[in-house]
Amino acid sequence: MLKTTGATFLAIATSFFILLFYPPPKSYYHSLFISSSLSDNASISHHLRTLTRRPHVAGSQANAEAASYVLSTLSACNIKAHIVSYDVLLTYPYSRSLTLTPSPSEPPITFDLKQEIYEGDPYADVADEVLPTNHAYAKSGSVVGPVVYVNYGRVEDYGTLKEMGVNVTGTVVLARYGEIYRGDIVMNAFEAGAIGALVYTDRKDYGGGGGDAKWFPDDKWMPPSGIQVGTVYNGSGDPTTPGWASSEGCERVSIEEVESSGDVPLIPSMPISGADGETILRLIGGQIAKDNWQGSIDAPTYRVGPGPGVVNLEYNGKQVIATIQNVMGVIEGVEEPDRFVILGNHRDAWTFGAVDPNSGTAALLEVAQRLQKLQRSGWKPRRTIILCNWDAEEYGLTGSTEWVEENRDLLASRAVAYLNVDCAVSGAGFHASGTPQLDDLLKQAAQQVQDPDNSSQTIYEQWIQSTESSLIGRLGGAGSDYAAFLQHIGVPAADMRFGAEYPVYHSMYDDYTWMEKFGDPMFHRNVAVASVWGLVALRLADEEFLPFNYHSYALELQKRAEDLENEISDKGITFSPLFKSIEELSKAARKINNQKKEIKEAKGWTSMRRNDHVKVRELNDRLMMAERAFTDRDGLLRRPWYKHLIYAPSRHNDYGSTSFPGIDDAIENAKNLNTAESWHVVQHEVWRVARAVKHASLVLDGKLT
């Protein structure tokens, strides 16, 4: 017995000695992180059910309670967690009404603007806590006018109407969701001369196509009474503190200055259901709309108007300075605590938010719980990991923007990358977007995680089979919280999810029941998102050399520049400065990759060891800071908050992802004006981007000229 006890003690002591002096490589912990022994779909399901039991719009008590839940969960994982609060301008509906008069001799039709509770709805008892349907930051007012159907409300749709001889001035437009950001739908309507805008969810896009299609709760599709709400603000952050944080007692601009900024609509707008949209469409006359403007198979024939139906749209909102709460968790790095790998997701929802955003919140908490298990096993990160749960994203990326603006200089000098998950799961199929130097890392992480819908293959294998266009998207749109990090201060960023657009988006039907029945019945996709997300973060936090490859960046820029050159080849614009800068970036990328290889190979030589740390740190700093060089202090023309000259939203579509947004905007303007001066602006924008790309190559090269 004594011999056995002694042998056991010796084995334990030996294991302790080995772990103390010969700890496992970081790759061991990375493999452990994605193993089934650490993942927990039941825990994710529990988090999601808890977070979505009540509607929790920003500024509400329910959302404050959700913040407390996230805080307590992070703290239970032995993660240092705290809340960062800001006082920001939010809007809520006070009163609203909508009537339609078919003709002067007929009585008006009054719409109730309500989303219907279905039989057996488990959330019926809290349905009255859902905000009345509205557009955040919509213009208050009352307008009366004939209706014009404008398809998706894009600039090109108004061009089609002009060709048809349809005058939009003085009308209320009816647009359907589906192609561009709702704020741009309203802004485009104003610029076309409309006095109001109604935006509806067409059955063709969200209702299963009509016919025999069923809808939630029997199928995934939006019910006829479903209404997609959301913001129509075209800026980022608190509108009263443009460019600085909304801290207590801070300077604020007036509401009048907010309205004159161009970021909030100047005409009233309202979201309505597919059923109400169809009712209005039946009472619009005039020319028949084009085939690709028509609806589902059993929809009425869509005509463009104007009238004869006349709508009376009334909306009054209340503006409130409300407190929002970001929840922050920090795992401090051991060797480089002043280098930050940041993971973020927002918490606030327009209604219950099972997909958007709390599938991502549940995944964030799953990552936190797995990191705690790694720490118990002996893992310590090389660099600091920061877990962020943002507030008021739905209003205008507000929580993340305020935090970035408050910590701008520190983040600009220390942030390695920002990894975003908003809607973690809305269905099958993995999708990722990011800045190009992260392409290889995203692919490699997907190659290590099992496909949740087919255990015989990896996520990467599913990904490449299901993607017809570019495998990895870009982050030019301002659709989520990566915007402030990438587009304002130039931090490398990525965003990932399972599933694409989903029918009940921003409606009261985005609840736990929808997720459990249609989004992810076994919560295995949620587990997979957490695995990829956390694995990418671990490699960024732990690897001695940052896993960035700027050669991918140069290839991407070359392709996009060639596309633009071909688009305006007959306008006398030269792209040679840009191509020259891209070639310099490509050379600098190859050079730094070779330097990384040389340092790795030299690490076996005793004479090199003393200088290893300094050399690695200096090389990593160049990799980290090169993205910052793509920013310009003046920002984009008429949109100075957006500093990044490679990735930012299109001027007429906040969701639109484009490369070289300044050049794109200038080309669009020049095509409309077709003057020598407007084309000169295009050439100037080409030069601006060329200078930024050259600056990035100089940073990578690491030597003064």
Provide the pLDDT for residue 3.
Answer: 44
The pLDDT of 40-52, averaged and rounded, is 97
For domain 550-701, give its CATH number from 1.10.3210.10, 3.30.1130.10, 1.20.930.40, 3.30.360.10: 1.20.930.40
Q: How far apart are CA 511 and CA 221, in angstroms?
A: 13
Q: Which residue did the predictor score with more confidence, 17 or 435?
A: 435
Positions marked catalytic: 393
| Res 655 pLDDT > 80 | no
- Hey, is 199 helix, strand or coil? strand
Provide the pLDDT for residue 477.
Answer: 87
- Give the closest residue to 478 by CA, choosing from 345, 654, 667, 336: 654
CATH code assigned to 26-89+321-542: 3.40.630.10
Q: How confident is the model at residue 659 (pLDDT cuts 50, 70, 90)?
A: confident
pLDDT tens digits for range 580-621 = 999 999 999 999 999 999 998 887 654 445 568 899 999 999
β-pairing, 135-136 vs 141-149, is unpaired
Provide the pLDDT for residue 607.
Answer: 47
Task: Write down how long the chain is.
Answer: 705
- Between the alpha carbon of residue 703 and those of residues 36, 128, 255, 374, 682, the distances in Å are 46, 62, 48, 39, 31
Q: How confident is the model at residue 23 (pLDDT cuts 50, 70, 90)?
A: confident
pLDDT tens digits for range 481-539 = 999 999 999 999 999 999 988 999 999 999 999 999 999 999 999 999 999 999 999 99
Q: How confident is the model at residue 15 (pLDDT cuts 50, 70, 90)?
A: very low
Provide the pLDDT for residue 462.
Answer: 94
Q: Which residues of 121-151 are buried (b: 16+ CB within 10 A; e: fewer)?
A: eebeeebebbeebbbbbbbbbebebbbbbbb
| Res 292 pLDDT > 90 | yes
For domain 91-316, give its CATH number from 3.50.30.30, 3.30.1310.10, 3.40.1710.10, 3.40.50.300: 3.50.30.30
Mean pLDDT of the chain: 94
- Quickly list DSSP for 683-695: HHHHHHHHHHHHH
| Res 21 pLDDT > 70 | no
Contacts of 644 (CB under 8 A, 6+ apart): 486, 487, 488, 490, 630, 631
The pLDDT of 165-186, averaged and rounded, is 96
Provide the pLDDT for residue 651.
Answer: 79
The pLDDT of 618-636, averaged and rounded, is 97
Contacts of 451 (CB under 8 A, 6+ apart): 457, 458, 459, 461, 462, 528
The pLDDT of 332-361, averaged and rounded, is 98
List the chain domain ranges: 26-89+321-542, 91-316, 550-701
pLDDT tens digits for range 450-492 = 999 999 999 999 999 987 667 999 998 888 999 999 999 999 9
Contacts of 1 (CB under 8 A, 6+ apart): none
Q: How far apart are CA 434 and CA 419, in angstroms?
A: 9
Q: How confident is the model at residue 12 (pLDDT cuts 50, 70, 90)?
A: very low
| Res 4 pLDDT > 70 | no
Provide the pLDDT for residue 211.
Answer: 79
Q: How confident is the model at residue 449 (pLDDT cuts 50, 70, 90)?
A: very high
Q: How far apart are CA 667 and CA 568, in angstroms?
A: 8
| Res 176 pLDDT > 80 | yes
| Res 84 pLDDT > 50 | yes
The pLDDT of 125-141, averaged and rounded, is 97
Q: How confident is the model at residue 210 (pLDDT cuts 50, 70, 90)?
A: confident
- Between the alpha carbon of residue 663 and those of residues 465, 577, 637, 655, 675, the distances in Å are 33, 14, 10, 17, 16
Provide the pLDDT for residue 120.
Answer: 95
The pLDDT of 354-363, averaged and rounded, is 98
Provide the pLDDT for residue 194.
Answer: 98
